[in-house]
Amino acid sequence: MPMGQNPRTITAANSVVMFKAAGYFDQAIQLQGFQVDNAFGFGDATVGETRIGVDGKQSGGWVSHEVPVTVFLEANSASRQQMEEFRGWCNANQETSLCTLDITIPSIGKRIEASGFMVSQGGGPSAQKLISGTQYVFNMVINNEDSIA
């Protein structure tokens, strides 16, 4: 195989993250103002389990699974304030909400749709040399990963 360049880039800057939360953000909002080195990240999914019997025979099977998805917002992001207001709504109602992330990554030609629930976030901005951003973690089910032009 000859050497050369891949025609696709790996640019993250033109990615678009849309967020919905049933009962609060029924119309998707575009998240903006990501941290300097992170916008979003998908964790590992445990898609199977194995076990081995006392006789040394291994068995395995598929298991239902969720994927941790983290969104990283800068401290001065307008979207961070919207997420904090959503958390306040959850706290006031002592309830959670089904969340949807619709992420488009043009550079690699992918669109990922996931739904699930927010499970953790930073308690507030931390002050160091600069104010740090906040991470929002969701346990999601990946509904689709489609190729786009």
Cα distances (angstroms) measured from residue 87 to each of 42, 75, 122: 21, 16, 11
Give the chain's end-to-end CA distance (angstroms, integer).
Answer: 26
The answer to whether 80 and 32 have CB atoms below 8 angstroms apart is: no
Dig out the tokens for 145 from the structure. 């990963």
pLDDT of residue 82: 96
Does residue 78 sit in helix, strand or coil? helix
pLDDT, block means (10 residues), the chain with 149 residues: 84 95 96 94 96 97 96 95 95 97 96 98 89 95 94
d(CA 52, CA 45): 21
pLDDT of residue 124: 82
pLDDT of residue 6: 86
pLDDT of residue 7: 84
Q: Which pTM does this prediction carry?
A: 0.89
pLDDT of residue 125: 82
pLDDT of residue 105: 96
The answer to whether 3 and 50 have CB atoms below 8 angstroms apart is: no
Q: What is the dihedral of CA 42, 106, 104, 113, to 10 degrees?
A: -70
pLDDT of residue 92: 96
pLDDT of residue 1: 62
